[in-house]
Amino acid sequence: MRIGLIADTHGLLRPQALDALRGSDRIVHAGDIGDPGILDALAQIAPLTAIRGNNDTEAWAHDLPDTTRLVVGGVAIYVIHDIKTLAAHPPPGAVDVIVAGHSHRALVETREGVLVVNPGSAGPRRFRLPVSVGHLDLAHGRATAVIDTLAL
């Protein structure tokens, strides 16, 4: 099973990001969406889970949760926008993967046995950081992650 990961679109959903996410069995948006049309477009590709980021302050975003926990393929995934707020907003139960955004810096690392993934920013380029999305590949109750830098 493949889960597409996207964050920090800030109102810009690039065609390259959509192409990279096609074929996903589910998509997770880790906040700073910027435009509700982005959620509609992503949901046309695969079932979508999205959380609100610190810039998602308009009325359309009020019903989105700040964090969420989901279990897919036997893997518990916690989604939070800013990993630095994890201590204030810990996951409700054990998790195998944490997906975060906010920093615009792609990251895949293991912390105390938990896979931590930030797909980077798929929206407007920030500084000289690459524009990217990510994928979680789930098999046999385990997850691996890959970052896809988008060619612009």
Per-residue model confidence (pLDDT) at position 126: 84
Q: Give residues with Cβ within 8 angstroms of 81, minimum separation 6.
A: 7, 30, 31, 32, 51, 52, 53, 54, 66, 67, 100, 101, 102
The pLDDT value recorded for residue 128 is 86
Q: Say what the pLDDT of residue 55 is.
A: 97
Residue 43 one-letter amino acid: A
Q: Which pair of structure tokens corresponds to residue 22? A: 């096609």
Render pLDDT for 113-122 as a digit per residue (tens, 0 to 9). Answer: 999 999 999 9
What are the structural domain ranges in the chain? 2-149
**Fold type of domain 2-149:** Purple Acid Phosphatase; chain A, domain 2 (3.60.21)
Does residue 103 sit in helix, strand or coil? coil
The predicted structure's pLDDT at residue 115: 98
Q: What is the pLDDT along the chain (152 residues), one digit of tens a residue?
A: 999 999 999 999 999 999 999 999 999 999 999 999 999 999 999 999 999 999 999 999 999 999 999 999 999 999 999 999 999 999 999 999 999 999 999 999 999 999 999 999 999 988 888 999 999 999 999 999 999 999 87
Q: How far apart are the first and last CA of the chain?
A: 27
- pLDDT score recorded for residue 47: 98
**Per-residue model confidence (pLDDT) at position 11:** 97
How confident is the model at residue 140, as a pLDDT? 93
Q: What pLDDT shows up at residue 85?
A: 96
